[in-house]
Amino acid sequence: MSREIRNIVILTGAGVSAESGLATFRAADGLWEDHRVEDVATPEAYRRDPVLVHRFYDARRARLCEVEPNAAHKALARLDAEWPGELLLVTQNVDDLHERAGSKRLLHMHGELTSGWCLACGERFAWEGPMGEGASCLQCGEVGQVRPDIVWFGEMPYDMDRIDEALRRADLFVSIGTSGAVYPAAGFVQTARCCGARTLEMNLDPSIGSTLFDESRLGPAGKLVPTWVAEMIGP
């Protein structure tokens, strides 16, 4: 590697949680196979059928109790704890497996299943268990105005300013377990690359933007990520 690596940005997608037993989106058995995206993951869908949308996210939230972080989540948490330079883990995942593994320098750009958002007062708060369409706001008490704190299609992902800034300072950008089908995350590799970062992808199959990476490692994240982390900070 020509340039010394100090600042790292890592992007993860559904593939990093696949070995924990959470379905990816665009696989044959992926979540969107049972539900059309426009039925469950858009603001219009929520207005049209809040019962269906709540049922979908309540089921996904309940599923979190049945799964555990895998070797990839744990390796990334170890890197976070031991990496002396800047590090930012940006996940598109709405599960809580990165934080349960111990990652601290973490942003959930597509929101979190374990968070609720009150449309009446604008407050966001931790949420456990089912939400349903009749939930009361933990802040203002309004009933029926709490929605899953998930970024739906057509909505603006969270923390884009911070992410963009980190990408521009990155010496290394690493993408793990994402198909590269959804923007703006799919464009992070270009931003980092244009600002001089080296780029590495770890995925089961080549992603859509695979050719933009300096290096592509193909295989399961549970195997590839611990190997890479050991290269970065030792076994």
Applying CB under 6 A, among 7, 20, 178, 199 the residue interacting with ligand APR is: 178
Q: Residue 204 interacts with ligand APR (CB under 6 A)? A: yes
Interface of this chain with ligand APR, residues 12 to 41, rule: CB under 6 A? 13-15, 18-19, 24-27, 30
Residue 95 annotated as binding site:
yes
Q: Which residues contact 41 (CB under 8 A, 6 or more apart)?
A: 150, 152, 153
Residues 158, 108 contacting (CB under 8 angstroms):
yes
Report if residue 203 touches ligand APR, rule: CB under 6 A: yes
Q: Give the binding range for ligand APR (CB under 6 A) out of 73-81, 123-131, 166-174, 199-207.
A: 199-207
Stretch 99-128 residues interacting with ligand APR (CB under 6 A): 110
Under rule CB under 6 A, which residues in 47-86 are in contact with ligand APR?
A: none
DSSP 158: T
Choices 59-67, 140-148, 187-195, 204-212; region in contact with ligand APR by CB under 6 A: 204-212
Q: Confirm whether residue 181 is marked as ligand binding.
A: no
110 is catalytic: yes
Which of 19/149 has CB closer to ligand APR? 19
Nearest-CB residue for ligand APR: 15
What is the C-alpha separation between 86 and 165, in angstroms, rounded?
12
Q: Do the Cβ atoms of 200 and 175 come closer than 8 Å?
A: yes
Closest C-alpha among 152, 151, 149, 147 to residue 137: 147
DSSP sequence for 69-105: --HHHHHHHHHHHH--S-EEEEE---SSHHHHHT--S
Cα separation, 113 vs 5, whole angstroms: 33
Please, what is the minimum distance in Å from the beta carbon of residue 12 to ligand APR? 8
The neighbour count for residue 52, using CB atoms within 10 Å, is 14
Q: Residue 45 Cβ, how far from ligand APR at the closest point, in Å?
A: 13
Lay out the site mask for ligand APR across 135-174 (x = CB under 6 A, - = otherwise).
----------------------------------------
Q: Is the dihedral of CA 187, 212, 98, 61 positive or negative?
A: positive
Task: Please answer whether residues 216 and 210 qualify as being in contact, where contact means their C-beta atoms are separated by less than 8 angstroms.
Answer: yes
Which residues are the active-site residues? 110
Binding site residue list for Zn(2+):
118, 121, 137, 140
Question: Which residues would be at the binding site for ligand APR (CB under 6 A)?
Answer: 13-15, 18-19, 24-27, 30, 92, 110, 177-179, 181-182, 203-205, 207, 220-221
